[in-house]
Structure 1
């Protein structure tokens, strides 16, 4: 009997030892498996936590003008600028042990298992904030074992590679709150019309209850259910000692005002401009489409909202609503190249084709300032005389002829000055100048003005028959306006990524590409377009809008059978308007030919109305003298139409006009630099003397 007992005891010890050995091996294997997972997760490093976020566009005064969201509103906010009430409410209701566990709340998991077994169904969840974050970042919501395992692995990777604060920040910025709002900022704006940092305890506790079931607990869908959920959140916050009973009661009794509206609406402000910004993001920053649309960028643009509204209103009020004619406008700061307003067409919804940046149209006589600048560099002055008469030009080794004509076939049939040729837009003078300079020389000058469009090497190039984009034409005038410094059209001042890091910032470029003195002489001649003193065989081309202008402008109009232009500037603003039909139909009606000038004048006058009057500041090496417009010589007191004209010092005329009085009697009036002249009312009423 004792023998049997001893044998059984020995066998029992063997079994126990075997169980211990197997358990130890199983534990060791489990330990090695888990350790391997941890090592593998660490080797893989931090998982990318970028999620689709709305890219937001701002105007030049940092007001939101649009966003790209594709139905999902997402804005990333740093943890420190999120309301502490919302942070505490989320932790209390979603994961009370968040700061103490390592991704999995084992106690909560065990409790959930027991509850599910008792109810014989899944009645209680045990996902931590980290698990929910992993699920929202990398996984679908299907309930398969493979998804659960992947979720666990991503949870481990997040916990190993990110701090608790980073995980919490990511969770709050990615969780879905219903109605297309992802993250606390989008949700705060949608439900309460405010930023996440400004949420009260009542608002935060209501918001924190929604992610459990965005449809079930939305206060806009079912207020009673949302209110009950809010009470659960407040109770959880009491248990966690985030708030007192008194604070909870006050929050529960507070009446909440719901907005139910996303604050940012896409493409309602300057849609053509926003398209140009997106194109700049591709070409300048080399960003792909997905990054631009869903990268959570903050794009700070150059758009001046006031000027944009003025531009759009000018088109709407001046062009008849039933007209099918199209148009474009570009306004720039000549000192920086910043595009401050842009109209690419009359109706973006009907046609998103951007006529300001994409259409190539004949610029007509607006090309002449570039031609005459080249002439100034090659010996011309404002007093250079050429004969305006019907002329046939031979070219291509006398194999071809070209016979241009003036508007309405009007000619001086006499010599006129360069200053008057510009003001009257004499075509014969322009073509004669082109033949003097040579086609290659003129094309080279065009490229110096920043125009990259290919030019046709033909005599009619002097009259703007080779197509150019509107934005390039306006930019070329900017170079004249700023005294000859290179600028390029700029749409973007700064770009930040989703983490708030600056990935692009526009840098100023200071490069002199034109002679500053000749640029000023050219500018001063362009003011003559609006000066009736330069009337001759025809009226100055700016005569129709001259009465609408209240300050000094430099500018030039241009027209072909299919295109009408007006481009002009002040020292601080350059703008250009193009009018025409997309299919190149002829502009038959006189009113259509006048649209460009009227829109330009209306835009410029209203845009600068809130700015002090500024004259063009002469450069150091120019001299201003009074010139008789007809003879181009120094004016005498008998020359009633004498006009102050600037020349590069040393090139001004030395002879006096003899056509209106005695030769050699100059106008006795001190030439005061433009910026130093007294205001008109002081000059008239002798104030301050």
Structure 2
């Protein structure tokens, strides 16, 4: 036996000691580095798990009316809202040791390196679910060492700060399944037309195989390859103990019924309305474009799909395809301000210009209710009389103004305020405007929410200052609810991707008008549908009276270039404008009637299944029967009597004597009694 010299032994021990020492130092350094990385991960805190997700818009009844996805479908659902087979299939095929490792599977990494070296190319991946989630969530796809280092750091941050359930939920909500579908909910909806919770084992195993190569394993691209991949997923589930071999075979053989609805171009629902909703999200709620488009919001709107459909149908049926005339319609609930229907033009694909909220047009006589409300506040009553005749007004600066009635018809006599609004007498309106002061109409319009610029001129009484349709409908809503402030509500509630309500519409109780004067104004506006107020011309609603089955208040308006009809029942207000975009004159009589026809059909069909309601008088008003021709209390002798409301204390006290006098005048003289009996009876 060879004896090792002491000098050589000492040298060997020295090398061993150095190796141990160096190894210990390296181990300490490695431990310190790991601890430092973990500490850094803790210090930087939990990275956000949210990713770009599709924002979904819902109608008032909860049905989906649209999405904002830029071609990418993304939805976030919790693990509880996923079928268990989805979770099991994904873990089995993507990362069997997911619940055991801490972000990195060292055995898979070593095995992948060996396999790649043998093949002299990359043939096997080793990324865990956490690594894939980090890559998809935070990083770009450039293949650099820096990106690899960032991926590792993000992976550690995820593992240190979140539970395995959180990471798995995030992964399943962000992984790409092809065809623009990100996340299992979007994939389930796209491929099978159902939610992730409803997926069967067969469907779940098919979807779990797609992320490895969405453009390669999609059943819509190559179903044979997709089925082969599904088999691999099912075998992995068997190996992991999630299912039996028999269950795997049954799932593989089960026929898959794919959804093909996405292949048919779906008609947009209320596109003009949705544009307004997005504008409100930007301006009123201060959300940026990215949050709106890909923030995963659930936006619950006020839209009534039934009313929206009725509005669009009536517009198509009333205006023929050959006409170039345009249209806008807004319908609101006067109690809440919720916008129930909105049409901004005849064809959204041809023009996205929203005439309901963007265009400013002359409202014509639809502005008169604001004037007469102001006049009632100043002491006018429905019985106030003025002469209707061609009149030229001369002002202090020497200027003159001559308003004209429609077709130059005038009473050439006195008419009442109730008749003036029903017949739309322009001379009466201008006289009222100048009498109460031009400032009064401007102030009243502002109280009613009109924000468009108004000129303090005599013609303002006739609606010569341009306004928006949505403004006018909102103003009429305030009259309809007896003076309570409302503003157009397009969004009722917004929920973020976590299910948290981040916005909810509130209702104001502010009283901006005198309720009694507002009610009297409403009652005056019912006159356009009442032939009892016919005089030198017929009431302006004469052409649609036969289509009406319930009480309405309203006002029409016509200028050379604009035609309006705005009116309401207690439950619903609607306004319709028609005209040409370039302000061409409306010359055809049929086109001048479009607004009224669309309005009445929309109202009648929208309220078809609603109870018939009358306008409920306020506490400070009183209703009396008058002779509509002179505004005095009606007697039995009056051939026409109309129930009319007044602010208490302003109702007429004088009885009509016109017909009594006529009756006496036409009555034959009595014959003198011829005998004592007749004389006695007469005396008695």
TM-score (norm 1): 0.94
CA distance in 1, matches of 2:258, 2:158: 35
CA apart distance, 1:595? 0.8
Q: Does 1:570 align with 2:569?
A: yes
Partner of 1:13: 13
CA apart distance, 1:249? 1.9
Partner of 1:687: none
Give a deviation string over 1:492-531, Cα, whole Å, max 9, x none.
0000112111110011211111111111111111111011
Q: Does 1:336 align with 2:303?
A: no
CA apart distance, 1:142? 3.6
Partner of 2:23: 23
CA distance in 2, matches of 1:420, 1:334: 26
1:468 is paired with a residue whose SS is: coil
CA gap of 1:267–1:490, structure 2 versus 1, over 3 A, is farther
Partner of 2:285: 285
Partner of 2:643: 644
1:660 is paired with a residue whose SS is: helix
CA apart distance, 1:261? 4.1
Partner of 2:124: 124
Could you tell me whether the CA contact under 8 Å between 1:55 and 1:295 is conserved in 2? Answer: yes
Partner of 2:529: 530
CA apart distance, 1:404? 0.6
Alignment of 1:475-554 (within 5 A): 475-554=474-553
CA gap of 1:284–1:516, structure 2 versus 1, over 3 A, is same
Alignment of 1:121-270 (within 5 A): 121-262=121-262, 268-270=268-270
Partner of 1:684: none
Partner of 2:358: 358
CA distance in 1, matches of 2:252, 2:660: 95
CA distance in 2, matches of 1:325, 1:663: 52
CA distance in 2, matches of 1:261, 1:51: 26
2:278 is paired with a residue whose SS is: helix
Partner of 1:100: 100
Partner of 2:584: 585
CA distance in 2, matches of 1:493, 1:357: 19
CA distance in 1, matches of 2:75, 2:393: 65
Partner of 1:77: 77
CA distance in 2, matches of 1:447, 1:440: 11
CA apart distance, 1:120? 3.5
1:296 is paired with a residue whose SS is: coil
CA distance in 1, matches of 2:79, 2:438: 63
Could you tell me whether the CA contact under 8 Å between 2:486 and 2:507 is conserved in 1? Answer: no
Give a deviation string over 1:562-596, Cα, whole Å, max 9, x none.
11100000000000000111111111111111111
Give a deviation string over 1:292-326, Cα, whole Å, max 9, x none.
11111110000000100111111111111011111
Partner of 2:415: 416
CA apart distance, 1:146? 2.3
CA distance in 1, matches of 2:439, 2:93: 76
Give a deviation string over 1:641-682, Cα, whole Å, max 9, x none.
2111111122111111111225999xxxxxxxxxxxxxxxxx
CA distance in 1, matches of 2:663, 2:474: 43
CA apart distance, 1:636? 1.2
Could you tell me whether the CA contact under 8 Å between 2:564 and 2:576 is conserved in 1? Answer: yes
CA distance in 2, matches of 1:647, 1:35: 84
1:646 is paired with a residue whose SS is: strand
Partner of 1:275: 275
Number of paired residues?
A: 664
Partner of 1:463: 462
Larger radius of gyration: 2
CA apart distance, 1:482? 0.7
Give a deviation string over 1:179-214, Cα, whole Å, max 9, x none.
111100110011111011100111111111111111
CA distance in 2, matches of 1:500, 1:613: 39
CA distance in 1, matches of 2:447, 2:662: 42
CA distance in 1, matches of 2:104, 2:431: 86
CA apart distance, 1:4? 7.6
Partner of 1:389: 389
CA distance in 2, matches of 1:179, 1:536: 68
2:132 is paired with a residue whose SS is: helix
Consecutive unaligned residues of structure 2, counting only runs of 5 or more, are: 665-684
Partner of 2:618: 619
Could you tell me whether the CA contact under 8 Å between 2:532 and 2:640 is conserved in 1? Answer: yes
CA distance in 1, matches of 2:514, 2:663: 32
Partner of 2:682: none
CA apart distance, 1:2? 9.8
Could you tell me whether the CA contact under 8 Å between 1:59 and 1:301 is conserved in 2? Answer: yes
Q: Does 1:472 align with 2:474?
A: no
My pick for the range that moved more, 511-520 or 560-569, is 511-520
TM-score (norm 2): 0.95
Give a deviation string over 1:268-304, Cα, whole Å, max 9, x none.
0001000000111112211111111111111000000
CA apart distance, 1:262? 3.7
CA distance in 2, matches of 1:483, 1:161: 57
CA distance in 2, matches of 1:187, 1:338: 34
Partner of 1:67: 67
Partner of 2:603: 604
Q: Provide the aligned C-alpha RMSD in A.
A: 1.8
Give a deviation string over 1:611-653, Cα, whole Å, max 9, x none.
1111111112211111111110011122222111111122111
My pick for the range that moved more, 1-10 or 567-576, is 1-10
CA distance in 2, matches of 1:501, 1:598: 44
2:609 is paired with a residue whose SS is: coil
Runs of 4+ in 1 over 6 A off after TM superposition: 1-4, 263-267
CA distance in 1, matches of 2:216, 2:155: 27
CA distance in 1, matches of 2:257, 2:406: 66
Could you tell me whether the CA contact under 8 Å between 1:220 and 1:260 is conserved in 2? Answer: no
CA apart distance, 1:49? 2.7
CA gap of 1:337–1:165, structure 2 versus 1, over 3 A, is same
CA distance in 2, matches of 1:477, 1:613: 20
CA gap of 1:479–1:404, structure 2 versus 1, over 3 A, is same
Could you tell me whether the CA contact under 8 Å between 1:189 and 1:262 is conserved in 2? Answer: no
Give a deviation string over 1:231-264, Cα, whole Å, max 9, x none.
1111111222211222222211111111144499
Give a deviation string over 1:411-435, Cα, whole Å, max 9, x none.
1111111000000000011001111
CA gap of 1:159–1:261, structure 2 versus 1, over 3 A, is farther
Partner of 1:682: none
CA apart distance, 1:394? 2.3
CA distance in 1, matches of 2:517, 2:663: 28
Could you tell me whether the CA contact under 8 Å between 2:553 and 2:567 is conserved in 1? Answer: yes
CA distance in 1, matches of 2:505, 2:558: 35
Give a deviation string over 1:445-500, Cα, whole Å, max 9, x none.
11011111111111100000001110000000000111110000010000011211
